């Protein structure tokens, strides 16, 4: 049996992370509509957790029932039981918090109403809306000998009714059409609305007018979506192209086994037993809640408010800053050639990188652009600039990962757009997801080849770059450039086992490189130092190595937003390890590894968390940081995060989290970093620019054409 005294189950750890998300909705310093959004984020997070993690354990419990989890010693069935129990507590907490936030929103005229709360004029409006816009597109169905129990789509809202027809009980279902909005806004000065599902629920008697309605409820089925496109069980034709394979896979996701049943209200034992048998689900998988089953509407409420009310109920808007020392009104290429640039999202914008791609598209010295793409925004300037480069005759190669979960269709669409523009599109590597974030611009200047390399911790997604904290390094370092060129050559031929001089690349050298760095610190004993920032840590080899470091006296500090399977503070195991988690306005997403201190420190930014899927099953890249100014900037970020005593929670040895004490000054790291990015740029190059006359600046622009 594995030693589980200093580790915890990854699923329980994740549920504790999602609980921290939910608890942000109880923070009275957070504006009310933002608190409602945190409940919505908790809800969508839990949806994905059931579809992926519970789904995979559900399969494992049938296929390999005696498999033991190395972090907890539990079988898949035991893990599921612990999950179901923990989630039931979270449902009750969510319902309570939702009701509290809803009551406070009503003070401001923002009300989600039940049908019996509608004013007379609103009842008339809803009846007319149902008749004109809802009823014509409904597809009600009864279940009897001529009508089999239907397939209920994953995460689609349904109305279920228990009818009496000729003294016989009968089940009827009405799928809520996806074309309808989640909520219907009512006329009037205030923001009053009612869920579309509740409108349909109210009119069930009108829909089944020849039957007696015994019971009715809103319900939703969550299905297992943990499907592997390389699994032979999906029986793809060998000559089918990969993009077609992914389209087929997306259709199959809708039909996998149910892993959860959510009910909007309690129902009788008879009705419940019928649903459990026909889906099928167990009683453990059924959750009853009066809070909304879907909450996407929460993100658009602010658009319906007056400016004053929006200002009072939402976070203040912000404009990402420009990194100090960077000029967006001048070419980016010579600036990168002079010194490395580091962009820190969302505090600083992606503009410098996008400008670099746009100018490279028309730079006669640029030969090629190569990039790995995992997730993109629905509207992506990056794709347009890559297409422009291809159309201008540049060799543009995009390695697009079509298996980016829940972004598959978006990536399929963008791959088609890139191909149409003349880009070479390669769909990842067989058996490995390409999760790295690397872009290489190859230039020929004065008879020699030069490289500009961008390596990031997050995706090239212009939308999430305003919501996720990430780092993006842009460097002209020739060694890193040569490694990046070698990396792209290997990707093109499916080689994932090569070694590199500077980059750590999974699955070949990332884990071994990290272990080598930890061993360097272990050799220093009490003088050793490790600072890590990431989303999750589950890899048992790295957990064991960090435990060894702690036992050797190395001081280990970790900023881990989500899953953390290593428990700190366990005597003779992890007593020199400290872990905090920050959940705030922005989603902490950057990955930074620091080993040592002072001139002896080795620093990397990476696309990889310390998870087995990242270190062994994906193509990931960690890049060393050589530039002193960039290192200082990252240190400032890490030190600010570690000092956080407002949004940070400290992981305890029992797996729970506690608020950190506020000694003198409250420190909200995200707010401090946001304020820092808005400070005036006092770097010498900018100060020199300010001294120049308008005529000198115009002359410079004229010289540049």
Give, in order, the Cα–Cα distances in Å from 686 to each of 338, 356, 680, 682: 15, 19, 10, 6
In angstroms, how far is CA 175 from the centroid of its own chain? 29
285, β-bridge pairs = none
Cβ atoms of 137 and 177 within 8 Å: the answer is yes
DSSP 364: T
Please tell me the distance from the alpha carbon of residue 578 to that of residue 567, in angstroms, as a whole number. Answer: 9
Q: Are strands 110-112 and 191-195 parallel, antiparallel or unpaired?
A: parallel
CB count within 10 Å of CB 501 equals 9
CB count within 10 Å of CB 85 equals 11
For residue 511, which of 606, 581, 578 has the smallest C-alpha distance? 606
Please tell me the distance from the alpha carbon of residue 294 to that of residue 246, in angstroms, as a whole number. Answer: 27
Please calculate the CA angle 409-410-416 and round it to the nearest 5 degrees.
90
Element holding 274 (H helix, E strand): helix 269-278
DSSP 115: G
Q: Which of 158, 203, 355, 435 is catalytic?
A: 435
Cβ atoms of 538 and 611 within 8 Å: the answer is yes
Element holding 702 (H helix, E strand): helix 694-704
State yes or no: is 324 an active-site residue.
no
Phi, psi torsion values for 578, nearest 5 degrees: -120, 140
For residue 172, which of 139, 198, 202, 131 has the smallest C-alpha distance? 139
For residue 524, which of 568, 559, 555 has the smallest C-alpha distance? 555
**HSE-up of 315 (CA within 13 Å, CB side)?**
17
Please calculate the CA angle 201-206-212 and round it to the nearest 5 degrees.
90
What the block records as the tokens of 375 is: 């997730």
Please tell me the distance from the alpha carbon of residue 654 to that of residue 6, in angstroms, as a whole number. Answer: 9
CB count within 10 Å of CB 139 equals 9
**HSE-up of 56 (CA within 13 Å, CB side)?**
9
Please tell me the distance from the alpha carbon of residue 672 to that of residue 641, in angstroms, as a whole number. Answer: 9
Catalytic residues: 435
């Amino acid at each position: 049996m594995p030693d589980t005294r200093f580790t915890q189950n990854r699923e329980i750890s994740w549920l504790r992370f999602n609980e921290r998300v939910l608890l942000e909705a109880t923070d009275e310093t957070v504006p009310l509509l933002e608190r409602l959004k945190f409940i919505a984020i908790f809800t969508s997070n839990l949806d994905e957790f059931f579809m992926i993690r519970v789904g995979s354990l559900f399969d494992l419990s049938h296929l390999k029932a005696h498999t033991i989890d190395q972090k907890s010693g539990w079988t898949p069935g035991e893990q599921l039981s612990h999950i179901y129990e923990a989630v039931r507590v979270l449902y009750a907490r969510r319902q309570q918090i939702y009701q509290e936030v809803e009551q406070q929103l009503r003070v401001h005229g923002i009300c989600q109403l039940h049908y019996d709360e509608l004013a007379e004029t609103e009842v008339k409006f809803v009846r007319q809306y149902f008749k004109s816009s809802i009823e014509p597109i409904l597809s009600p169905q009864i279940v009897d000998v001529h009508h089999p129990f239907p397939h209920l789509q994953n995460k689609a809202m349904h109305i279920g009714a228990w009818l009496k027809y000729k003294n016989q009980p009968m089940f009827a279902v009405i799928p809520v059409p996806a074309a309808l909005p989640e909520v219907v806004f009512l006329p009037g000065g205030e923001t009053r609305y009612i869920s579309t599902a509740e409108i349909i629920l109210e009119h069930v008697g009108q829909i089944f007018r020849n039957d007696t309605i015994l019971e009715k409820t809103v319900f939703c089925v969550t299905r297992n979506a943990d499907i592997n496109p390389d699994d032979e069980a999906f029986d793809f034709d060998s000559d089918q192209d990969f993009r077609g394979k992914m389209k087929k896979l997306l259709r199959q996701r809708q039909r996998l086994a149910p892993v959860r049943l959510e009910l909007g209200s309690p129902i009788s034992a008879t009705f419940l037993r019928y649903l459990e048998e026909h889906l099928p689900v167990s009683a453990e998988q059924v959750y009853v809640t009066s809070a909304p089953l879907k909450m996407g509407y929460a993100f658009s409420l602010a658009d319906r408010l007056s400016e004053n009310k929006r200002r009072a109920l939402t976070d203040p808007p912000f404009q990402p800053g420009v990194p100090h020392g960077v000029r967006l009104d001048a070419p980016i290429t010579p600036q990168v050639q002079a010194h490395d640039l580091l962009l820190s999202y969302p505090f600083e914008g992606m503009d410098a990188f996008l400008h670099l791609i746009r100018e490279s598209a028309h730079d006669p010295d640029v030969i090629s652009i190569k990039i790995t793409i995992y997730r993109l925004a629905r509207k992506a300037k990056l794709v347009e600039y890559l297409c422009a480069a291809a159309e201008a005759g540049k060799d543009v190669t995009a390695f697009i990962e079509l298996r980016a979960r829940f972004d598959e269709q978006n990536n399929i669409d963008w791959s088609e757009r890139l191909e149409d523009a003349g880009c070479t599109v390669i769909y990842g590597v067989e058996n490995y997801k390409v999760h790295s974030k690397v872009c290489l611009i190859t230039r020929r200047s004065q008879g020699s080849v030069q490289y500009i390399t961008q390596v990031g911790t997050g995706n090239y997604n212009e939308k999430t770059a305003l919501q996720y904290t990430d780092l993006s390094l842009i460097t002209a370092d020739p060694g890193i450039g040569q490694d990046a060129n070698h990396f792209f050559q290997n990707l093109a031929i499916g080689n994932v086992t090569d070694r590199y001089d500077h980059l750590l690349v999974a699955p070949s050298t990332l884990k071994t490189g990290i272990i080598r760095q930890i061993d360097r610190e272990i050799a220093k004993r009490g003088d050793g130092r490790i600072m890590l920032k990431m989303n999750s840590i589950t890899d048992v080899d790295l957990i064991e190595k960090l435990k060894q470091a702690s036992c050797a006296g190395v001081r280990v500090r970790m900023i881990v937003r989500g899953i953390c399977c290593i428990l700190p503070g366990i005597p003779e195991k992890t007593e020199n390890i400290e872990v905090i988690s920050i959940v705030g306005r922005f989603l902490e997403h950057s990955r930074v590894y620091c080993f040592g201190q002072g001139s002896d420190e080795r620093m990397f930014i990476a696309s990889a968390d310390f998870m087995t899927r990242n270190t062994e099953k994906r193509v990931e890249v960690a890049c060393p940081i050589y530039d002193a100014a960039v290192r200082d900037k990252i240190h400032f970020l890490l030190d600010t995060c570690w000092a956080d005593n407002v949004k940070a929670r400290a992981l305890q040895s029992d797996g729970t989290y506690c608020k950190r004490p506020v000694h003198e000054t409250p420190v909200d790291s995200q707010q401090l970093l946001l304020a820092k990015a808005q400070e005036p740029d006092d770097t010498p190059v900018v100060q020199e620019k300010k001294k120049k006359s308008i005529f000198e600046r115009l002359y410079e622009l004229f010289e540049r054409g």
